[in-house]
Amino acid sequence: MTDRPRRERPIAENRKAFHDYHVLETFETGIVLSGTEVKAIREGRVNLRDSYGRVEAGEVFVYNIHISPYSHRGSADHEPTRRRKVLLHKAEIRKLVGKTVERGMTLVPVGMHFKNGRVKLEVALAKGKKTYDKRERIRQREAERETRAAIKERRDR
């Protein structure tokens, strides 16, 4: 058995973030959640699309992470898109403050997973892509797909 911490399969991914941003650096962070939110996340009822992070007064918060209500809730409930605190070390927060304020970068949640029974959020330091960058990437993917198809067709003859 290894001493490494176990990482389970991803709960949610924000694929749109990789389309809209150049991801420069990612951080695995904790996130402050209520009990019904954790239960809903275990059911897979979370959506990271259109979510973003912001540094406020020396703390990091994420906005617009949509966690749907837990299916077996009683009177306990949570607001689906409330702001949630992200748990980072002070040195990491200082680093993020410098980069987000000075260089015009943004914080984007790119994934969520369980690690040793706790919910972990992957937050990326990212810079927005221009539309021509997005179009160029789409052209590259299409060219790669056509090349693979041509090789496969040639091999199958």
Please report whether residue 144 resides in a domain: no
Please report whether residue 2 resides in a domain: no
Total number of domains in the chain: 1
pLDDT of the residue at 10: 83
Please report whether residue 87 resides in a domain: yes
What would the mean pLDDT of 56-78 be, rounded to a whole number? 85
pLDDT (tens digit per residue) in 127-141: 888 887 778 888 999
Please report whether residue 148 resides in a domain: no
**Mean pLDDT, the chain, whole residue set:** 86
pLDDT (tens digit per residue) in 28-62: 999 999 888 888 888 888 999 989 998 888 899 99
CA distance 34 to 55: 21
Would you say residue 74 has pLDDT above 80?
no
Q: Which domain holds residue 25?
A: 8-129
What are the distances in angstroms from CA 151 to CA 28, 53, 96, 115, 144?
39, 43, 45, 41, 11
Please report whether residue 136 resides in a domain: no
Please report whether residue 112 resides in a domain: yes
Per-residue pLDDT band for 89 (boundaries 50, 70, 90) equals: very high
Per-residue pLDDT band for 113 (boundaries 50, 70, 90) equals: very high
CATH number of 59's domain: 2.40.280.10
Please report whether residue 135 resides in a domain: no
pLDDT of the residue at 1: 44
Please report whether residue 146 resides in a domain: no
Q: Are 49 and 16 in contact (CB under 8 A)?
A: yes
Cβ-Cβ contacts under 8 Å for 43 (sequence gap 6 or more)? 70, 71
Q: What is the dihedral of CA 35, 39, 40, 46, to 10 degrees?
A: 90
CA distance 74 to 129: 44
pLDDT of the residue at 122: 93
